[in-house]
Structure 1
Amino acid sequence: MKLDKKLIQYCLYFAGTALLIYAGISLFDNIGGIINFISRTIGYFMQLIKPLFIALIIAYLLYPGVKFIEEFLRKNNIFKKEGTRRTVGIVTMYILVMAIFIAIISGIYIMVGGKLSNNTSITNMTAYLTDYLNNSTLSVNSISEKLESLNISLLGGNLNDKIAQIVSSIQVYVTNSIGAMGNFVVNTGGNIATFFIALVLSIYLIKDSEYFMDLWNKIFNLIFGKSKSGNKLKEIFNIINDTFNNYIKGQLLEAFMVGVLSTIALFLIGIDYALVIGIIAGICNMIPYIGPVVGTILAVVMALLSGEPITAVWAIIGMLVVQQIDNNLLAPKIVGDSVGLHPVFTMLAILIGGNVGGLIGMLIGVPLAASLKILFSRWYANHMEKVDV
């Protein structure tokens, strides 16, 4: 008995359709679990490549410095072998960077430890501030008496009580913050291990950079060949690379200048450990809009810990002067020419970068936005040329 081919086809179509419907219903019913599985898989994969990603960032940032040292050795006929020059460049650059970080951490430890060892705690500092306000010419009592003589009540309450409430709130906030910082430090073991793995990987990436670049070019050409899209992608990568290089160089020079100016200002004011605070202020200044606040807060805290609240006022004024010099003279000349973003777009780039990638996102948000601006400008120019034709 021969089966009808059309009947078989209909049966297969029906079975296939039923199977697809069943699969669709099952997929819809388990969509939450599937999304959760995909999310976990991506998260696990990202955790695996995290050291490599960090290593690429470290290598990218330190490679220009290694090449500079390598070129210096070559020009001065120091070490004939290219491999030896590369090794010396890597060792010198990494020792220099680690020495800077160790010096900063040691400075912070000595700075904070020295102040706290002199029996100066958060409680003592707030008590001192309260005593200072009570005994100064602009004391709380004198202000209250003046307001009462004018028949003015301050929110219907006692100003001393309100100051005490504010001080108490500050103490609670600081205590909670210190507790949160302690938990963060306890949980950093895994991050430290990841960082050291990334550090070792970055050394190999720089040492054999030509090999990895050649490997990247081979993979890229294998995928795109000499197609138009491949050439466009290469152009985009070159623009991003040039923008990042210019931005990093500008930021480093600006950070150095801000660090020097901050150190001089704080030294003249009489802030202890002005050099350490100045270095931190310079480094933090590389985080636009937010970084400068860190240096100012640190200077104010050190001034308050020294037991002279008026010095904190001078510290704020000094750091504001430094920031005005930076914003109006240094940044437009040093960084502005390399980035050329309007402040509104700069702020948006920082906010979006921070929400997406945290601190790293904030750091790379501005050069990425600048790269997009260049790409858009070129696309617009080409588009207008075609329209005119």
Structure 2
Amino acid sequence: MKEKNKWLWSHRTLANLFVVLVGIAFYLCLSNFDLVRGKVAEVVKIFTPFIAGFALAYLLNLPMRFFERRVFRRFRARRGLAILASYLLAGVVLAVLLGLVLPQLVQSVMALAANVPIYLRNLNELLDFVIDKFHVDEEIVSQLGMTYKEIVQKLTAIVTAAAPQLLNFSVALGSGVVTGLTALISSIYMLAGKDKLIFQLKKVVYALMPTPKAKRFLSVCGHANGVFAGFINGKLIDSAIIGVLCFVCMSLLRMPLALLISAVVGATNVIPFFGPFIGAIPSVMILLIVDPWSALWFCILIILLQQFDGNILGPKILGDSTGLSAIWVLVAIIVGGGLFGFAGMLLGVPAFAVLYSLSSDFIAARLAARGVDAAGEPLQPPQEKTEEERAQ
């Protein structure tokens, strides 16, 4: 009887049972994906302040390490001074952006809203000129868009419907302030005690897993951290440079709303591959209303910037941080964006890069165990060195 119970509860039996349960759970999750995603969204909403705090601490970890190792390395309280310097640096950058960019953005938006009737009248005059010049059927033109009165009526209806939402906006703003303060405080605690947190996590890993597997798992985590940190920091720097270049070029070409459109282009450029086009579409629509010729020149400018970013600037800053080809980058963006929205489009590429690296290592190990190479040919045994090579 004891032998039978020992066989029933052997490690192999438990492992097989665990695999079966995981497979069943995975099938149920796929069958009820919308329900699972809704429940996950509810849980994520609860932990949003701590997730935002972790993201802030992750972004500020690089400058904190620089201050700790280069500037305050001789001070006893170098960690606290480094954290203070990092947040002061972030605050100064944010204040400069808000002080210089935000007023001009608000001014541009207000000017755009105030001059919408003039812009629409000019657009109607341009359409009339095109109709008379090229003898275009008016019915075809009318089917392509709404008239001036219809647009004004739509805008009025939108403003009227949005007015009762001001109270909800104020409540959401207050909740956002509380969430932001919680995220800020939690990020400070994470940066201050990151060594202790990492040590505790390593202790849990070594306690729950065999030592070789634990070391392998921690090695994978270190690799993933390097990929994510290099990609995110590099992409932020790359997007900031593209935004500045767009502003400079638009200013030199005397295009309207240069700061507003450059901010949109720089913000959307953090999304790989599709970012420049996502920012260019609304920008072209705005310029098409304000100045159609500027919209044409802007299309040429954004194509040149995208080529410069994709072939020169991006590779210089990011290097080969992901190791993915263009097709896999496209797959990662589409799948990540479809599952998790904007965050999935941004983080899908480094996440897929880690999975791609792990699968490549697994396939290489399996091929080596079978004694064949990637082409299916037998592996050549390592050649012994000659006496001359050994002497060298």
User: Which bracket does the TM-score occupy, shorter chain normalised?
Assistant: 0.7 to 0.9
* CA deviation after TM superposition for structure 1 residue 192, in Å: 4.7
- Tell me the TM-score normalised to structure 1 length: 0.73
**Cross-structure match for 2:351:** 368
Out of 93, 106, 109, which is 2:106 matched to? 109
**TM superposition shift of 1:237:** 0.7
Q: Within 5 Å, give how 1:244-323 maps onto structure 2.
A: 244-297=228-281, 299-300=283-284, 303-304=287-288, 307-323=290-306
**1:236 is matched with which residue: 210, 215, 220?**
220
Give a deviation string over 1:318-365, Cα, whole Å, max 9, x none: 112111211232234433521221222112111211122221111110
Q: Aligned-pair RMSD on alpha carbons?
A: 3.5
Match of 2:77 in 1: 81
- 1:349 aligned residue: 332
Residue from 47, 52, 56 that aligns with 2:45: 47
1:296 is aligned with what amino acid?
A: A
2:341 to 358, 372, 378: 358
Tell me the CA shift for residue 89 of structure 1.
Answer: 2.3
Contact 1:86-1:207 within 8 A present in 2 as well: no
Q: Is the contact made by 2:240 and 2:266 (CA closer than 8 Å) also made in structure 1? A: yes
SS in 2 for 1:238: helix
CA distance 1:230–1:84, shift in 2 (3 Å): closer
Q: What is the letter of the counterpart of residue 243 of structure 2?
A: G
Q: Does 1:120 align with 2:120?
A: no
- Asked if the contact 1:59/1:203 (under 8 Å) is kept, the reply is yes
**Within 2, Cα distance between the matches of 1:39 and 1:346?**
24
**Quick one: distance in 1 between partners of 2:133 and 2:38?**
63
- The change in CA–CA distance for 1:321 and 1:42 in structure 2 (over 3 A counts) is closer
Deviation at 1:46, TM superposition (A): 3.5
CA contact (8 A) 1:66 1:93 kept: no
Segments of structure 1 that go 5 or more residues without pairing to the other structure are 1-30, 148-153
Matching residue of 1:14? none
Superposition deviation, residue 97 in structure 1? 4.9
Aligned match of 2:386: none
Is this contact kept in 2: 1:254–1:330, CA < 8 A? yes
- Shift in Å, 1:370: 0.9
Q: Quickly say closer, same or farther: Cα 1:180–1:93, change in 2 above 3 A.
A: farther
> C-alpha offsets along residues 177-224 of structure 1, whole Å, 9 cap, x if unaligned?
778988698274344533332222112111222222222222222322
Distance 1:356 1:238, change over 3 A: same
Rounded to whole Å, the distance in 2 between the matches of 1:178 and 1:342 is: 46
> Which residues of structure 2 form unaligned runs of 5+?
1-27, 372-378, 380-392
Write the distance in 1 (CA, Å) between the matches of 2:363 and 2:260.
47
Aligned AA (1:199): L
**Structure 2: how far apart are the matches of 1:342 and 1:209?**
34
One-letter code aligned to 2:46: L
Matches within 5 A, 1:14-163: 44-74=42-72, 81-99=77-95, 102-103=98-99, 104-116=101-113, 119-121=114-116, 123-134=117-128, 136=129, 139-144=130-135, 154=137, 158-159=139-140, 161-162=142-143
Larger Rg: 1
Query: % of aligned pairs identical?
Result: 23
Equivalents in 1 of 2:307, 2:158: separation in Å?
Answer: 30
In structure 2, give the amino acid aligned to 1:309.
Answer: P
1:212 matched to 2:197: yes
Name the residue aligned to 2:389. none
Distance 1:386 1:281, change over 3 A: same
Contact 2:83/2:188 (<8 A) preserved: no
Residue pair 2:280, 2:302 contacting (<8 A) in 1 also = yes
Would the aligned equivalents of 2:59 and 2:233 in 1 still touch at CA under 8 Å?
Answer: no
TM-aligned CA deviation for residue 296 of structure 1 = 2.4
Compared CA separation, residues 63 and 128, structure 1 to 2 (3 A):
same
Instruction: Report the equivalent of 1:151.
Output: none
What amino acid does structure 2 have at the position aligned with 1:341? L
SS at match of 2:351: helix
The answer to whether the 8 Å contact 1:350/1:365 transfers is yes
